[in-house]
Amino acid sequence: MRRIKIIADEKISFLNQIFAHIGYLTKLPSAMLNRNNIKDYDILLVRTVTRVNEELLKDTNIKIVCSLTSGIDHIDRNYLKKNGIKLIYAPGSNANSVAEYVIACLLILAKKKRFSLSKKTIGIIGVGNVGTKVAQMCTILGMKVLLSDPPKFNRTKNRKYLSFRKLSDADIITLHTPLTFTGKYPTYHMVNEDFLKKIKRNVIIINTSRGSVVDENVLLKFHKKLWGLVLDVWENEPDINISLLNLADIGTPHIAGYSLDGKLNAAMIVYKKLCSFLKEKVEIKREKVLPILNKAIFVSTKAKKIDRMLYNTILSIYDPANDHTKMRKILKLAYEERPRYFEFLRKKYPVRREFFNYRVMCDNCQPKIKEMFKKMGFEY
C-alpha cells in the first residue's frame, strides 16, 4: 500500500513530532507552496499566509487541506467542496492566547490612562471561542460586559446578544469576528463610518480578529473620537497602514494567538481530525510534545489595588508592549523593507506560554484574590 505523502509549510510548529508518522512529510517555505511543488502530494498543511484556491490546487493530487489556524478566510471553501477536497482546521485553538493578549492590553491601557477596569463597560463583537473567553475574563475583572453577535441572535433569539446600536454605552469595544464578505451579516468593513458615528466619544477599540473587519481609512478619519486603539491585525498584511500604527497605543504583527500552547492546540486538533478521517490510530500525546511549564510566579501584596496586582503578575509573563516596541521599528524602514520586517517579526516570534503554565505563589493574598487568579487560568 502506497504511503501518504504530506507537504507542509515549514513554519508550522511541531510538524515532525506530530505529523511525521502519518506519512512521508516534506517541508517547504510558504513562498514555495505553489501548484508545481505540491502537485504530487496527497495532503497539504498550511498557515494563513497561503491562499488555498483554484490557482494553487488545480491539477494537483491534493485530497486533504489542513489549515493549522482557527480562521479560514484564506481558503476558498467553495472550490474545495466542488472538487471533493476535504478541509480540516482548528477552530478555537488559539482562543486562550488571544484572550490573554486582550487582557494584558487592557491592563496596560488602564495603567497608562489611569482608569480602573472594574468601572468600565466592554462591548464584545463576535461571541465565538475567543469572544466567549474574553467575556469570561473581563467578568472576572469586574467589568460590565455587553455581547453582540447578530448571527447568534438570529439563530437563538437570545436577548443577551445586543445590536451594534446598543453597544453605544461601551467604553471599550473589542472585535472577535471572522472575516466574511457575503450572507446576511458580512463582517468586511463592519467598523465603517456609520459604526464609528454611533459609538460614543473616547472609546477604546481593540481588533484581534482580521484587519479588513475595520475600514482603516475611515478609522483614520475618526481617530480623534477614540481614547485608545489596539491593533494586532491589519488590512493588506504584511503591507500595513503606517499612519494607523503611529496612532495605536499598542500595535502588533498579528501575533495575539501566537502562544506556543495555542500552536500546539492547533496541531493536535488537526492531527486528531486527520487521524479520524484516515482511520489511523492517534499515537501522539500532547503532554509528551509540550509539557506544562509549571513555573512558580510570586504575587506581591504590596500592590493594594487588584488592577496593579494583575498588571505586575500578568505583564511579568507576557507584555504586549514589547511586541509594540519591536513593531514600531517598521516606521524607520524604507517602504519596500516594511512588509519583510512585519513577516520577520512573526517568523521570529519568541516563545510565549499561556497562564495555565504558571503557579501563583502569594503569602498573604485574600481568598478572593486567589480565586480571581484561579479563574483567570493560573494554577494555585
Residues 218-241 pLDDT 10s? 999 999 999 999 999 999 999 999
Q: Is residue 331 part of a domain?
A: no
Over residues 30-36, the mean pLDDT reads 96
Residue 1 pLDDT class (50, 70, 90 cuts):
very low
Q: Is residue 328 part of a domain?
A: no
Task: Give the range of the structural domain holding residue 208, as residue numbers without chain letter.
Answer: 95-251
Question: Model pTM?
Answer: 0.95
Query: Do residues 94 and 115 touch, judged by C-beta distance below 8 A?
Result: no
Do 130 and 224 fall within a single domain? yes
Measure the CA angle with vertex 73, ends 68 and 77; round to 5°.
Answer: 90
pLDDT given for residue 301 in this prediction: 75
Do 228 and 134 fall within a single domain? yes
Do 175 and 51 fall within a single domain? no
Q: Which three cell numbers stand for residue 140?
A: 472576572
Does 250 score more than 80 pLDDT?
A: yes
Residue 2 pLDDT class (50, 70, 90 cuts):
low
Do 274 and 224 fall within a single domain? no
- Tally of residues, the chain: 380
Do 244 and 269 fall within a single domain? no
Do 83 and 158 fall within a single domain? no
Q: Which three cell numbers stand for residue 158?
A: 437570545
Do 53 and 160 fall within a single domain? no
Instruction: Please tell me the distance from the alpha carbon of residue 60 to that of residue 54, in angstroms, as a whole number.
Output: 10
Do 57 and 150 fall within a single domain? no
Q: Count structural domains, the chain.
A: 3
Do 117 and 235 fall within a single domain? yes
Over residues 43-53, the mean pLDDT reads 97
Q: Is residue 340 part of a domain?
A: no
Model pLDDT for residues 259-300, shown as the tens digit of each residue: 999 999 999 999 999 999 999 999 999 999 999 999 999 988
Over residues 96-116, the mean pLDDT reads 97
Catalytic residue numbers, as ranges: 210, 237, 254
Q: Is residue 335 part of a domain?
A: no
pLDDT given for residue 92 in this prediction: 96
Q: Is residue 324 part of a domain?
A: no
Does 308 score more than 50 pLDDT?
A: yes
Do 238 and 265 fall within a single domain? no
Percent of the chain with pLDDT over 70: 99
Q: Is residue 326 part of a domain?
A: no
Over residues 98-127, the mean pLDDT reads 97
Q: Which three cell numbers stand for residue 214?
A: 475595520
Listed in sequence order, the residues at least 6 apart from 367 whose beta carbon sits closer than 8 Å to its beta carbon are none
Find the CATH number of the domain harbouring 232. 3.40.50.720
Query: Do residues 45 and 19 touch, judged by C-beta distance below 8 A?
Result: yes
Do 274 and 296 fall within a single domain? no
Q: Is residue 338 part of a domain?
A: no
Q: Is residue 85 part of a domain?
A: yes
Does 366 score more than 80 pLDDT?
A: yes
Do 78 and 138 fall within a single domain? no
Does 196 score more than 90 pLDDT?
A: yes
Model pLDDT for residues 166-186, shown as the tens digit of each residue: 998 899 999 999 999 999 999
Instruction: State the chain's mean pLDDT as an integer.
Output: 95
